[in-house]
Homo-oligomer: A and B are copies of this chain.
């Protein structure tokens, strides 16, 4: 498992992801799941990947191959809408899973992968999409600004309490970090480093990117501050009438 999320705000988009990949408890590695496509003048995409590493790497390879081939029928450069890009990623993912489908059934390996795709094409709104293993997708909405993939449940309550469309990019980024930190504490399949990237709408470039290891001073101070704050909030809860 893994945990990735996007938060679409009025002012832009926040992306965050963990980096743990595991096939059983004895094959644990660290791979980036955040992929930025920013070598364009008129568009920008960020893709977060969750699931079978073979599938997600193949999808990324095909995305790059199609970008390098001017004759390719489809590519991130040629899509006209963000949802076109989501459909394209979903189709590539299905192709990869089908190619290895019969071997998968024999070996009982799960080839499924999910993606979160966000970004903007010039003149069009900034958007985020959650792309399912079946290749279909959903977008965020004002009532559901965030999209999650992977181990989503541990980190959901804090998002539900804090995030709204008018939340600032930095507050949403902090909330994403807390959501990831809570998940990492409660689930071993989600692990550092944590990658965080902020997109300011209409800029068509990444405004901030950080990769935070648990030992990094900022992450440490965030963890300590949140722990203290929670403890304080907890200590201030009302007493029962019999206390």
Contacts and interface: CB of A to CB of B under 8 A. Distances in A.
B182 A157 contact: yes
A133 to B, nearest CB: 20
Of A218, A221, A230, A241, chain B has the most CB atoms within 10 Å of the CB of A230
A225 B240 contact: no
Contact of A170 (B182, B232, B236, B243): B243
A209 to B, nearest CB: 11
Contacts of A183: 157
Interface string A158-181: 101110000000110111001000
A99 interface: no
Interface residues of A, number: 43
For chain A, what secondary structure do more than half of its interface residues adopt (helix, strand, loop), or is it mixed?
A: helix
A237 B208 contact: no
A236 B171 CA distance: 11
Copies in the complex: 2
A186 B162 CA distance: 13
A226 B218 contact: no
A180 to B, nearest CB: 11
A185 to B, nearest CB: 5
A237 B229 contact: yes
Nearest to A240: B170
Interface in A179-231: 182-183, 185-186, 208, 210, 218, 221-222, 225-231
Contacts of A160: 185-186
Contacts of A154: 153-154, 156-157
Lowest 10 CB-CB distances: which A-B pairs, in order?
Answer: A229-B233, A153-B153, A157-B182, A156-B186, A221-B238, A174-B237, A153-B154, A157-B186, A225-B237, A233-B233
19 contacts: A153-B153, A153-B154, A155-B157, A158-B230, A161-B185, A161-B230, A161-B231, A171-B234, A174-B237, A218-B240, A221-B238, A222-B237, A226-B233, A228-B233, A229-B230, A229-B234, A229-B236, A230-B230, A232-B232
Interface of A: 151, 153-158, 160-162, 170-171, 173-175, 178, 182-183, 185-186, 208, 210, 218, 221-222, 225-234, 236-243
